[in-house]
């Protein structure tokens, strides 16, 4: 869904959502951010994957709910006693809220991982640190190469039964050997690679630029502005709501309040964008 937008849009949106979700320990905000996280996961990873994340999110909420009273024996409404410890309703409710918050943050992060591939992250931070991006790109290239080579070397060792290791010590030495073969081979490659880099002008004195695969379009700017505006409006409202709400000794009473609306709007951004995309697709056919 964020594919048609600049990576900065996805990053700004997800970073704002994760930040607010982590800060707002208040029942209404927790419910909203859990719902928003699941909706976003539906859109970015598909309904199936989102449903599967419920399979671990709900037990997580239940676990934190049950465990919290064992650690914090505060509150005023006693519902049962375990030995000498009292279990209070407020404590259970606090556990449910913090469990929900944790689950919401984790679900947000699954969306983040789906949207911000290594390439997108690099495109985004490349302007800040171009040298770093080149280095990361090279490392990302080397890791799979080392892994596949390691497998090849191990295969040759395993297959050489005529020279099979006698006992544990030789076996351990053979495994160490894999590492030293990899190192030697890698260094040899490094010489070739540094030649290939110099041959194409690396360090020729010119100031390096970095190729940007993504351009910022008007639509990107518009969505980005919306997201940032919503985030800016929400920040004081969240602080206010959380400051007024107390779990202990008794739960504050929740009231209907207009201040929740901007947060609901922020949560609805992916769904709205998805709906717009669906509508455009249908009307263009």
Partner 1 sequence: MAIVQVENFSFAYPGEGRGASFDMGAAGADAGRVAAHDTEQTSGWALSNVSFSVEEGAFCVLVGPTGCGKTTLLRALKPELAPAGEKRGCMRVLGRAVLEDGVAVAGLTARESAEQIGFVMQDPAAQIVCDTVWHELAFGLENLGMGQDEMRRRIAEVAHFFGIEPVMRAATETLSGGQKQLVNLAAVLALRPRLLLLDEPTAQLDPNAQRQFIFMLARVNRELGTTVVMATHAPEDAEPYVTQRVELGYVPPLGERAAVRVPLAVGQEPTPSTPSTPSTPSTPSTPSTPSTPALLVKDAFFRYGRRDPWVLRGLSVRVSPGTVHAFVGGNGCGKTTLLHLMAGVLKPQDGRVLSPHADRQVLMPQDPKALLVCDTVAEELAEWRARCGYTAEDERRVCARFGLDGLENRHPYDLSGGQQQKLALAKLLLADPQLLFLDEPTKGLDASACADAAHMVRALAAEGRTVVLVTHDLDFAYAVADEVSMLFDGELACTEPSATFFARNLVYRPHDRSRFFGALAACEGRQP
Select 77 or 210, whichever has its Cβ closest to partner 1: 210
Smallest separation (angstroms) from partner 1 to the CB of 206:
4
Which of 15/153 has CB closer to partner 1?
A: 153
Q: Least separation, in Å, of the C-beta of 120 and partner 1?
A: 12
* Backbone dihedral angles phi then psi of residue 87, each to the nearest 5 degrees: -110, 120
81 binds partner 1 (CB under 8 A): no
The CA-based angle 112-116-118, given to 5 degrees, is 135
Question: Could you say whether residue 168 binds partner 1 (CB under 8 A)?
Answer: no
Q: How far is the CB of 141 from partner 1 (least distance, A)?
A: 4
- From first CA to last CA, the distance across the chain in angstroms is 19
225 preceded by a cis bond (ω within 30 of 0):
no
- Please say whether the beta carbons of 91 and 74 come within 8 A: yes
Single residue of 128, 206, 218, 255 touching partner 1 by CB under 8 A = 206
Q: Which two tokens stand for residue 12?
A: 């700004």
268: part of which helix (H) or strand (E)? helix 260-284
- Residue with smaller CB distance to partner 1, 87 or 123: 123
Helices (H) and strands (E) in the chain, counts: 9, 2
Judged by beta carbon, residue 78 or residue 188, the one nearer partner 1 is: 188
Q: Does 217 bind partner 1 (CB under 8 A)?
A: no
Is 150 exposed, middle or buried, given 0-12, 13-18 or 19+ CB atoms closer than 10 A? Answer: middle
Please pick, from the candidates 79, 82, 160, 221, the single residue that binds partner 1 as defined by CB under 8 A. Answer: 160
> Out of 67, 79, 164, 222, which residue is the one contacting partner 1 (CB under 8 A)?
164
Is 145 an interacting residue with respect to partner 1 (CB under 8 A)? Answer: yes
Residues 6 or more apart whose Cβ sits within 8 Å of residue 96: 61, 64, 65
Q: Give me the least distance between CB of 50 and partner 1, in Å please.
A: 21
Binding site for partner 1 (CB under 8 A): 118-119, 134, 137-138, 140-141, 144-145, 148-149, 152-153, 155-156, 158-166, 170, 177, 180-181, 184-185, 188-189, 191-213
């Amino acid at each position: 869904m964020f594919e048609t937008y600049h990576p900065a849009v996805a990053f700004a949106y997800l970073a704002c959502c994760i930040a607010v979700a982590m800060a707002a320990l208040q029942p209404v905000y927790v419910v909203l951010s859990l719902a928003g996280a699941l909706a976003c996961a539906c859109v970015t990873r598909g309904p199936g994957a989102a449903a599967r994340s419920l399979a671990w999110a709900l037990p997580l909420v239940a676990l934190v709910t049950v465990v919290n009273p064992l650690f914090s024996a505060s509150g005023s409404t006693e519902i049962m006693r375990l030995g000498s410890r009292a279990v209070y309703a407020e404590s259970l409710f606090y556990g449910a809220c913090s469990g929900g918050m944790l689950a919401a943050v984790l679900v947000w992060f699954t969306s983040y991982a789906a949207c911000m591939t290594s390439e997108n992250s690099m495109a985004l931070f490349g302007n800040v640190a171009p040298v770093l991006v080149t280095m990361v790109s090279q490392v990302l290239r080397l890791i799979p190469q080392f892994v596949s080579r390691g497998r090849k070397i191990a295969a040759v060792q395993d297959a050489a039964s005529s020279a099979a290791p006698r006992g544990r010590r030789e076996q351990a030495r053979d495994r160490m050997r894999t590492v030293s073969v990899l190192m030697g081979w890698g260094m040899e490659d490094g010489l070739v690679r540094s030649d290939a880099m110099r041959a194409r002008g690396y360090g020729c004195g010119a100031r390096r630029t970095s190729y940007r695969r993504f351009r910022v379009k008007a639509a990107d700017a518009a969505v980005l502005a919306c997201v940032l505006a919503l985030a800016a409006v929400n920040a004081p409202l969240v602080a206010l709501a959380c400051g007024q709400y107390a779990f202990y000794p008794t739960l504050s009473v929740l009231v209907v309040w207009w201040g929740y609306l901007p947060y609901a709007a922020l949560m609805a951004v992916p769904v709205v964008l998805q709906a717009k995309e669906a509508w455009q697709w249908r009307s263009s056919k």
